Amino acid sequence: MSVKYSVVMRKNPSKSSEPGKYYAHAQAYGEMDFDSLCEEVNGRCTVTRADVAAAVEAILESMKKALAEGRIVRLGNFGSFQIGVRSNGATTEDEFVSSMIRGTRISFRPGKLLTNMQKTLAYTQVAKLPVKVTNGGNEVG
């Protein structure tokens, strides 16, 4: 198995006068939805697809609660999840108020299982995917 990529030209936004450089761009081929994932797990162990789905749903509910409480959720070798915040800046610490917080994000840090997998990947260059054009004429890749 290998990661498929195409080569695309990108300009540096902070140096727009300089010519662009060519970079690898990962190309996804297909996807695995929740039901397919449950079937895959079912085929690797003795639990049913419904049991897998119920366990994953319960894990997600528990993660949601823990993250909302500000806790880091560690899933062993899989990795960890943590809430981060985005905010506007204040000149001094005393001037900062919670209304300056614009939103949150969930940060994922892969664990040993996924970081070790990344070290063994192979790569295959493929053609670029066709460019889609939106109604406004803006290109979307």
For residue 138, is pLDDT > 60? no
For residue 61, being part of any structural domain is answered with yes
For residue 111, being part of any structural domain is answered with no
For residue 116, being part of any structural domain is answered with no
Split into its structural domains, the chain has a count of 1
For residue 94, being part of any structural domain is answered with no
Q: Which residue has the tokens 């990344």?
A: 118
Range of the domain at 63: 34-69
Q: Specify whether the CB–CB gap between 63 and 76 falls below 8 A.
A: no
pLDDT digits (tens, 9 = 90+) for 17-57: 889 899 999 988 889 999 999 999 999 999 999 999 999 99
Task: Compute the CA torsion angle 113, 119, 120, 123 (nearest 10 deg).
Answer: 130
d(CA 139, CA 67): 37
pLDDT at 100: 95
For residue 53, being part of any structural domain is answered with yes
pTM value is 0.71
pLDDT digits (tens, 9 = 90+) for 91-134: 999 999 999 999 999 999 999 999 999 999 999 999 887 766 66
Query: Pairing state of beta strands 73-74 and 122-125?
Result: unpaired
For residue 40, being part of any structural domain is answered with yes
